[in-house]
Amino acid sequence: MDFTETDEQRMLRSSVATMAAKYGQDYIQRKAKAGEKTTELWKEAGESGFLGVGIPEEYGGGGGGMVELAIVTEELAAAGCPLLLIVVSPAIAGSVIATSGTQEQRERWLPGIADGSVKLSFAITEPDAGSNSHNITTSARPDPEGGWRLSGTKYYISGVDETDATLVVSRMHDSKGTLRPAMFLVPTDSPGLTYQPIEMAFTAPERQFTMFFDDVHLPPDALIGGEEAGLAALFAGLNPERITVSAFANGMARCALDKAVAYARDRSVWRAPIGSHQAIAHPLAKAHIEVELARLATMRAAWLYDQGDPAAGETANVAKYASAEASITAVDAAVQTHGGNGLAVEYGIGTLIGPARLTRIAPVSREMILNFVAQHTLGLPKSY
């Protein structure tokens, strides 16, 4: 196993960092405060081939894998430009359609995902079915006139107002009357589909929504992979989600540490830069070590996923846990280094507190990851 990046991967990392530096954290915060979208950044990332690095070449992508998409996600966040929709559009939706979609679905959706001209959101969580996806009640039934009728509610769905369609996890009564898991692609302008924003305590360009499906009619080809795809289609997107969220968290952590280190070098209080004091230097050094370990865990998970290794599920969960904890530690150390300035908008640290904390909760909570590792890795009895 060799974790040395190839020349192409190093070039990709450098190219993404250079592009993202043209926008930076000020751009993201300006857009978020104005209620605007990161249209220009997304468009350039798509045209540059960054969004499609993991999409197969025959559908307009770069033919790479999750390693490359994690690099893109991390470098954007490290430059102060975390794009949450990378997680749901190229990572989740792109992976699900590429691995479980029909040929027609791949040809229809993947080229647009690759070049950024099409955005997809992902809807799994429900008000009464958070971590327990077995409690999902959103369901589809066959329409006698053809296709399906979808009804239900989804909760905390990112970016619905800027996506073309939503990948909806539901239950389905198939042609034999059997109730089974299913995923549907639902255009966001479908009659019967409505959504309303959830007001969040932190500001970000991507908003969160509650979605309502009131007997939404869907054509036959809206069902991902046909009636037999079921859980396989869903699981095709969960590991990419965890891996890219890990990269997202690692990038934010690097952004916070870069700002803190620069401040600690320049800020003098007792006739010397505050970075010369161990009370400042040690927390930053500790945070750096934790971030580097989290980055290693993330690349390992991405590499195993690209190899088709069954261990990718465990390592994706480990990476997500490690990255969330490292991000929270790094942001907290950065705030403390800045003192009161850590909460001033000018210094760009306080705005990372909410998103960093969120990575401990979503897309799967720290506690559920610990449950997974305890049961599946350590062989302990199931606790829930």
CATH top-level class of 7-117: mainly alpha
Hey, which bits of the chain come out as E strands? 120-123, 139-142, 148-158, 165-173, 179-187, 193-198, 208-218
pLDDT in tens, 341-380: 999 999 999 999 999 999 999 999 999 999 999 999 999 9
Say what the pLDDT of residue 2 is: 73
Say what the pLDDT of residue 49 is: 98
CATH top-level class of 122-228: mainly beta
Name residues of the chain where pLDDT drops below 70.
Answer: 1, 174-175, 177
Q: Which of 133, 140, 115 is nearest to 222 (CA)?
A: 140
Say what the pLDDT of residue 1 is: 63
- In this structure, the number of other CB atoms found within 10 A of the CB of residue 164 comes to 17
Ranges of each domain in the chain: 7-117, 122-228, 231-377
365-374: which pairs have CB atoms within 8 A and are 24 or more residues apart?
Answer: 365/131, 366/321, 366/324, 366/325, 368/131, 369/317, 369/318, 369/320, 369/321, 370/321, 372/314, 372/317, 373/314, 373/317, 373/318
CATH top-level class of 231-377: mainly alpha
At 110, phi and psi to the nearest 5? -65, -40
This prediction has a pTM of: 0.96
